[in-house]
Structure 1
Amino acid sequence: MGKVCLHLRIGLTMCGIAGIIQSDRQPVQQTELQNMIETLNHRGPDASGVSPLGSVGFAHSRLSIVDLTGGLQPMQSPDGMLTVTFNGEIYNHIELRALLSSKGYQFRTHSDTEVILHMYAEYGPECVQQFNGQWAFAIHDQKQQLVFLSRDRMGIRPLVYTQTPGRFLFASEVKALFALPDVERKVDLAAMNQLFTFWSPLPPRTFFEGVSELPPAHSMIVKNGQIKIWQYWNLDYSPNEEHRSLDDWAEELRALLINATQLRLRADVSVGAYLSGGLDSSVTAAIIRNFTNAPLNTFSVNFNDKDYDESQFQQEMIRELGTDHQTVCCSYEDIGRIFPQVIQHTEKPVLRTAPAPMYLLSRLVKENQFKVVMTGEGADEVLGGYDIFKETKIRRFWSRQPDSKIRPLLLKRLYPYMKNLQAQSPAYLKAFFKIREDEINSPFFSHLPRWDLTAKLKTFFSDDVKQELVNQDPLTDFSDQLPEHFSKWPSFCQAQYLESINLMPGYILSSQGDRMAMGNSIEGRFPFLDYRVVEFAARIPVRYKMNGLNEKFLLKYAMRDLIPDSIRKRPKQPYRAPDAHSFIDTDKQKARFEYVERLLSPEKLKESGLFQPTAVQRLVKKIEQGRAIGTRDNMALVGILSTQLLVEQMIQGQPAPQENKRTESAALQT
């Protein structure tokens, strides 16, 4: 397969969207639309527009990639009967444009936004089945007197909504909803309970009571004050009977990934690529270098703390590919300093600081005059890369002989980068990864150790919160959302599914992905999440996803000529960042920043009413004194602090203070 030339005149945009639908037929006020969209300026600083259309009004902030005038939104069809506000990209819009032209449609712009309008005119709500891309959009259909909203299959682009008396409101982010005085600001304790179990609330819940998110792969119609929501696509891991060779599977995966990457390079602006030093970002960068004529500019984050630093592997790929590379170096102080801004963008608590360096990384991309960046997210979920999949395999193997003294020793093969865990005795490992008889057949077998550990953070909840949640069970909530055939899938695929519909859209693509990139007006693109790749990967035999304990086996095999052995065969190390040390200086035994001390004070904790002040003070003191802290203590501190920040910023309406300019040492160029 040769290189693809990418000098195409097309219109793709990353944006912020918002809208108001008055069920009482009162006209929408333009000032309200403006107030909403101004809060989303970071998502689209290049242009903005509002369209009050009687009882329906749309707003749009635009990060323009090309076609600066032709792609302005909200956009109307030629007859004025359809209006759209759209965040995302439809990568196959050139092919869809040809299809529509053959049916007699005429185009005034080069924008994929116009393709969406005509596709809806031709196919109605089913048009999304033909889209290859990432999107959140709303279409006002004046003839049908309805508004159609949709969100992409994997949940890359956000879409939240709420209802107040007489109207329906939607936006890319919650802050746009809170720009209106009739939207109540209150923590959803059930969502908080879910987040402190699964790392994110289960859709449609958000962290805010009364505010919902449209789940991934769902569409919605709002008409006459009524809402209809349905799922238009789903992941299916049903066992297949395909008898294909390893080479056959590898060849198809390779072709799909190359094409998915080429599609995502459709732009008239330069496209950068993240390069972490791991397999996934190395694959996307290698495809750009070898199968397109696009210039390759790569970006990475390094850490002063060598426990988290992967610069050695980054440098190897830089030399291999000959990239023009830029690096941002991240210290404890950098993470703690920008954390309030990070949480203002996540709009939900986080349990690790990992989003913060991603925020600095996207800023580096922006400072280098890029608007678009390619990233390797999704490969672990889709192709079987996470350590939790190894853990599940070992625990299943162990469960067949629960009294074995040898089988649990395989647990030592897990998490080589976690020194505390590696130092534990076999007895501790057996206790931590315990297998209870009643859990062997649980649909959540793979994730119970992780969720049990996270749920221990709820011991810090205040008595009032615990009382409020006494009859709520997050596992039951999740169980109710599982598909009908889940129990018939291989256990490995069950674990993949749980990651793909929960942690990936709720945390990886949201708190760590869209919100951090768009916080700096940067658009992320994800070749591994092309729906064709995802559907193909669901059919791959488990033995080719994980061969023994060799994760992402098929990907490594398919790309063996593009990726050096040192990268391909290196032990899996997930992206992590320093947690508690970013906020508390153990040498000085005090908080590094005023906001940390203030928000974790007994007074502020009592004011929010969510956590026990005494328990939190004990935790802080323990960390200050440098006593051995593990994952639980780190997650507790980050989770409590981020929740307190959210209450102050989003509930009490006190925006994060402007960040002080980072020090010269924060940015290094390689």
Structure 2
Amino acid sequence: MAPLRHRGPDQSGVYLDPDLAMANLRLSIIGLGDGIQPIGNEDGTLWIVYNGEAFNYLELKAELIEKGHRFATSTDTEVLLHLYEEYGSTCLQRINGQFALAIWDSRKKELFLARDRVGIRPLFYVDTAERLCFASEIKAILALEGTRELDLESLAEVFTLWTTVPGRTVFQGVRELPPGHFLVVQKGRPSVPQPYWQIPFYPCDPALRGADEAAEQLRELLTDAVRLRLRADVPVGAYLSGGLDSSIIATLISRHGTSHLRTFSLGFQAAPFDESRYQRELIDHLGADNRQVLVSNEQIRAAFPDTVWHCEKPMLRTAPVPMFLLSRLVRDEGYKVVLSGEGADEILGGYNIFKEAKIRQFWSRYPASQRRPLLLEKLYPYIFSNPSRERHYLQEFFAVRERGADSPFFSHEIRWENSRKNLTFLSDDCRSALAVYDPLARLAETLPEGFAERDLLARAQHLEMELFLAGFLLSSQGDRVGMAHSVEMRHPFLDYRVIDFAFRLPARWKLRGLKEKYLLKRAFRGVIPESINNRDKQPYRAPIRELFSAQAPRDYVDDLLSETRLRESGYFNPHKVARLYAKFLNTPAGLSSEFQNMALVGALSTQILHEQFVKGERLRALGRVTPDRVVRGGETPAPHRGR
């Protein structure tokens, strides 16, 4: 249990019988005095361990009491156990929450594993001839099963798509249960993961009479999503970036919460990344009590290895590190729970990649146009204004390729074509092993039927949710860096009712011309300051180039990117990486490209993974945890008064 102590420092428990062992480390948020896991049903035939929250547990509990169930605790964990007892696997459809759970049926000798709809909570497993192991993080499996080599195909996926294809991890033989799926284990053998929810796609809903009515419905849904996510027996705070989404969530908390609003925000030493002045505007507007961590380049560099340890995958950007530092501030201030604005961009049309695809589609209808590509300057003025880059080159970079706008991956092809250049830094042996592997072909196998016939925005939204949201934002920038400091992040925009509503909206109510999140802004006009509501989106970024200058300390970076270490691990061509690193050290800031930034961060994070997990140095340094509670199979839970 020691590898996961950060996820649950408050209590620990173990269930043991001849067929199964389950353990839980608890972060106590609901039912502080009576929620230690595992929790069993009245006769000890069903047992649950669980990480997460069922926000509608009070409504579910009332329904189950009417059906004759009786409860011995005040936890949502016990509610889910009885919900499964009543409905079986279909219980998942009734849960409004974020979770990874395991339920053991000792009569059937059957294990049920499930994960929430969008993948807020992680769940990994390894299936060997001897046994099946599962855990919330890979490090717990490796500590038990032994270290694993990195999977080259999965590395190619990360260096192309920024994450692995759903279901895969970068460790050989380690699988991830995809979001919205469950599986059943019988006689030690797992079933094929089964979906109980998929990213929705609907034709335009004829019941929506107009934008004003839709805006009101959206505001009501978000208000209720926030209300449910304020349920806790501990204080609840909010992340505040200074942008639209977090400002809306903070405002709703201030209106409907029962205590004074505490917010937490990031500031950056590097001015281009800092949004402090926008944060201050909303803080003053709400009268919130804000705490800020001011992040320096040196702090990001120093915390990068710890962040990789918790994220358990290579990273192509440093953005998770400030979030790691922010969650540490939250915990130091005595908070365990924060609400955040993740998900709004994906479901309501907030990203530049959506606008970029729209411009390129418009341009593709008249490829010879000299005026249409100029619209790109509205999205990326900081790129087109760079005197070291010619406008002709950038227009060529964004041009529509041979497959045209009908390609299923049209919205993302430029991003992926650019990032897959990272593969050129791999060693000759790795490139040879990957010669016939195409991450895009693997991704295409996962797309739903009829995907290519959807409209452009619907395709782009699906790809963002399937890959970037689940595989990066909710993991490396969400759960993993939050739980590293025992902080739970909750996301009202990812309430399944809000998602379902958003995907019934016409595209013009999400992206109106080149104005992002049109309906969301309409819904909260007059509720939040107009300067924030009308502000163009500023993507959250963190310094990269500034971390690897000649003025940076000579530390682990020099060591891990040395020829000796690169040859030892075998993933990268030492000469190519050395030339790249030398360029960072010897040229002024701002002259490296996004591709080069990603390549250096990707190589460094992969080298760190190799040291921590493949060589296993940090795994071996972990101690042991003595559980607070041990339950043996056949015991009747006490003082339970069940159905």
- The residue correspondences of 1:523-602 to structure 2 (distance < 5 A) are 523-582=488-547, 584-586=548-550, 588=551, 591-602=552-563
Q: How far is the alpha carbon of 1:184 from its aligned partner? A: 4.6
Structure 1 residue aligned with 2:171: 208
After superposing the two structures, state which structure 1 stretch, 70-79 or 343-352, moved more: 70-79
Aligned ranges 1:475-490 → 2 under 5 Å: 475-490=440-455
What CA distance in whole angstroms lies between the structure 1 residues aligned with 2:215 and 2:577? 51
TM-score when scaled to structure 1? 0.90
Secondary structure (helix, strand or coil) at the match of 1:85 reads strand
1:632 aligns with 2:627: no
Alpha-carbon distance in structure 1 between the residues aligned to 2:596 and 2:133? 39
Using the alignment, how far apart are the partners of 1:484 and 1:422 within structure 2?
A: 45
Give per-residue Cα distances to partners, 1:624-662, cap 9 Å, x unaligned: 01251111111111110000000000110122999xxxx
**1:291 paired residue number:** 256
Identity %: 49
Secondary structure at the residue paired with 1:436?
coil
Aligned partners of 2:32 and 2:233 also within 8 Å: no
Q: Which moved more, 1:59-68 or 1:632-641?
A: 59-68
Aligned to 2:580: 619
Q: Distance in 1 between matches of 2:378 and 2:90?
A: 47
1:149 aligns with 2:113: yes
Report the equivalent of 2:641.
Answer: none
2:395 maps to 430
Aligned counterparts of 1:58 and 1:445: Cα–Cα separation in 2 = 45
What is the Cα-based RMSD across aligned positions, in Å?
Answer: 1.5
**What do residues 347-388 of structure 1 show as CA deviations (whole Å, max 9, x unaligned)?**
001000000000110011011000000100111001110000
What SS does the aligned partner of 1:207 have? coil
CA contact (8 A) 2:110 2:184 kept: yes
Whole-Å separation in 2 of the counterparts to 1:105 and 1:614: 66
Structure 1 segment 182-581 matched on structure 2, within 5 A: 182-228=145-191, 229-242=193-206, 243-416=208-381, 418=383, 424-581=389-546
> Aligned pair in 2 of structure 1 residues 283, 618: CA closer, same or farther (>3 Å)?
same
C-alpha offsets along residues 595-631 of structure 1, whole Å, 9 cap, x if unaligned? Answer: 1010000000000000000000000110101251111
Q: Which of 606, 609, 625 is the matching residue for 2:567?
A: 606
Q: 2:634 maps to which residue?
A: none
What is the CA distance between 1:174 and its match in structure 2? 0.5
Q: Is the 8 A contact 2:132 2:189 kept in 1?
A: no
Distance 1:518 1:62 in 2: 11
- C-alpha deviation, 1:211, in angstroms: 0.2
- Taking a change above 3 Å as real, the CA distance of residues 421 and 102 of structure 1, as seen in their structure-2 partners, is farther
Cα 1:419–1:441, aligned 2, differ >3 Å: closer, same or farther? Answer: closer
Matching of residues 46-125 of structure 1 within 5 Å = 46-125=10-89
1:174 aligns to 2:143 (yes or no): no
1:417·1:573 contact (CA, 8 Å) conserved in 2? no
Secondary structure of the residue aligned to 1:222 is: strand
TM superposition shift of 1:593: 4.1
TM-score, structure 2 normalization:
0.94
- Whole-Å separation in 2 of the counterparts to 1:215 and 1:149: 11
| Offset from partner CA, 1:466-508 (integer Å, 9 cap, x none) | 0000010001001010001212321111000000010101000
Match of 1:665 in 2: none
The residue type paired with residue 22 of structure 2 is: F
Whichever residue aligns with residue 347 of structure 1, its letter is E
Amino acid at match of 1:60: N
CA distance in 2, matches of 1:365, 1:653: 30
Instruction: Name the CA distance, whole Å, in 2 between partners of 1:227 and 1:593.
Output: 48
Higher relative contact order (CA 8 A, sep 6+): 2
Corresponding residue for 2:627?
none
Please identify, of 296-305 and 482-491, the stretch whose mean Cα deviation from structure 2 is larger.
482-491
In structure 1, how many angstroms separate the alpha carbons of the residues matched to 2:393 and 2:533? 32
Instruction: Provide closer, same or farther for how the CA distance between residues 302 and 416 of structure 1 changes in structure 2, counting only shifts above 3 A.
Output: farther
8 Å CA contact retained: 1:288, 1:294: no
Q: Write the distance in 2 (CA, Å) between the matches of 1:115 and 1:222.
A: 22
Could you tell me whether the CA contact under 8 Å between 2:9 and 2:27 is conserved in 1? yes
Q: CA deviation at 1:418?
A: 4.9
Q: Report the Cα offset of residue 417 of structure 1.
A: 5.1
Secondary structure of the residue aligned to 2:271 is: coil
Evaluate the alpha carbon distance shift between residue 335 and residue 656 of structure 1 in structure 2; reply closer, same or farther with a 3 A threshold. Answer: farther
Does the 8 A contact of 1:411 with 1:429 survive in 2?
no
Distance 1:316 1:424 in 2: 35
Per the TM alignment, residue 241 of structure 1 is displaced from its structure 2 partner at its CA by: 4.6
> 2:610 matched to 1:647?
yes
2:350 is paired with a residue whose SS is: coil
* Partner SS state of residue 325, structure 1: strand
Query: Which amino acid in structure 2 is aligned with residue 199 of structure 1?
Result: W
Which deviates more from structure 2 when the two are superposed, residues 166-175 or residues 222-231?
A: 222-231
List alignment gaps of at least 5 residues for structure 1.
1-36, 659-670
Tell me the CA shift for residue 437 of structure 1: 2.9
Contact 1:219 1:232 in 2 (8 A): yes
Q: Aligned partner of 1:370: which letter?
A: Y
Distance 1:101 1:539, change over 3 A: same
Query: 1:16 maps to which residue?
Result: none
